[in-house]
Amino acid sequence: MNAKENKLKIAQQVTLISALINLFLSCIKIFIGNIGYSKALIVDGIHSFGDLLTDGFVYWGASIGSLPPDENHPYGHQRIETLVMILLSLFLVIVGAVFAFEAIINFYHHPGQLSIYVIITALISIVFNELIYFYTIRAGKKIHSNLLISNAYHHRSDSLSSCIVLVGSFGAIYGYPWIDSIAALIVSMMIIHLGANLIIEGLNELIDTGVSEATKQEIKMVMLDFKQVQDIVQLRTRLMAGKIFIDAHLRTNAHLSASEASLITKKIETKLKEHNSKIHDVLIQLGYCAYDDHHLIALPDRDKIEQWLKEKTFFKDIGHIHIFYLKPTIEVIVLMKNEMSQREEIAALDGMQVLFKYYYTVGTSY
């Protein structure tokens, strides 16, 4: 089983367990609320029933988000997971607003005497919701799923809403029913604040907001730890469903071969992923160029240089040509298939000096 399949399995398992617990809590809250004369517990039960719908969204979002990249989605489907997280967070804000409104209304319309079974049921709800909260958030952090983490906080909001019922029940029993309204209003503001923060986090991912400055500095330290890397020209990061994507342009030695550069980029990618398990994709441009774009485009490329060389009689037997673009020169190394005489070599060097005019050439090897 690969990493993606394992992540999907964990997400689905956690969501199914969550759905079963929400179904149990919803039924018991509504039943006890009716026989115990607690409107707050009935509403809390309806809230738990609504959580079944959110669990369905999480299950669907995790399944779709784990699909592999395809022709139309080359970066995968993780954005769907982020979108579902935003919808869940929006639901949190709405729930918090509803609780706040009910708290204000109940401040002037206190409920009557409640049954002791309401307190027991609220305690059961708190215990179960806290257990599923810790279970879900642990799994979410393990597989780096913001969707599961968002749903975990939803369970925490369920636990807090049951605390409201519990405090309100004690207040009603001891003759202070207004405590219910005060506690409900405070917790409602906490739920709204939590949901708003998660929405902002999700929107930041959708608009490709980069990682924190501390994380960026850690990434730079890993890159500069390679002695072949002289400087970081550009470093861009973005987040997608809790995963980090990196695009970097690194300056290196001008004489580095393409095959060595490829090896170094692979080592840098491996080191970055070992350092931070959230890093999912690394795209590195490794090279050396001390020119501005306008000057660079004006320089002769390999095809042009090869054409110039082959037009000369003393370069008819070329094996390989190595070209290095340095500031402010171009270094050309010509490897001949056959040995040249000293006279031919001097003529070739003189010819190259004339050939490239303002560009310096260094060395001929054979």
User: Quick check: helix, strand or coil at residue 286?
Assistant: strand
Give the model's pLDDT for residue 138.
Answer: 92
Whether a cis peptide bond, with omega within 30° of 0, leads into 111 is: no
- Local confidence band at 246 (pLDDT 50, 70, 90 cut-offs): very high
What is the reported pTM? Answer: 0.57
User: Comparing 159 with 349, which gets the higher pLDDT?
Assistant: 159
Summarize pLDDT for 292-317 with one digit per residue, the tens. 556 666 677 778 777 777 776 566 66
- 53 Cβ contact list (under 8 Å, min separation 6): none
Residue-averaged pLDDT of the chain:
77
Q: Which CATH class is domain 3-206?
A: mainly alpha
> Is the pLDDT at 362 greater than 50, yes or no?
no
Write down the pLDDT at residue 267. 93
| CATH class given for the domain over 295-365 | alpha beta
Q: Which two tokens stand for residue 48?
A: 């738990």
Rounded alpha-carbon distances, angstroms, from residue 159 to 154, 223, 337: 9, 44, 79
The residue among 340, 304, 356 whose CA lies nearest residue 364 is 340
The full set of domain ranges for the chain reads 3-206, 213-287, 295-365
Reported as a single tens digit per residue, the pLDDT across 247-287 is 999 988 777 878 888 899 999 999 998 888 788 889 998 87
| pLDDT > 70? residue 125 | yes
The pLDDT of residue 357 is above 60: no
DSSP tally for the chain: helices H, then strands E: 11, 6
Range 213-287: architecture per CATH:
2-Layer Sandwich (3.30)
Residue 180 pLDDT > 70, yes or no? no
Task: For residue 160, name the pLDDT band (cuts at 50, 70, 90).
Answer: confident
105, 148 contact by CB (below 8 A): no
Beta bridge partners of 245: 238, 281
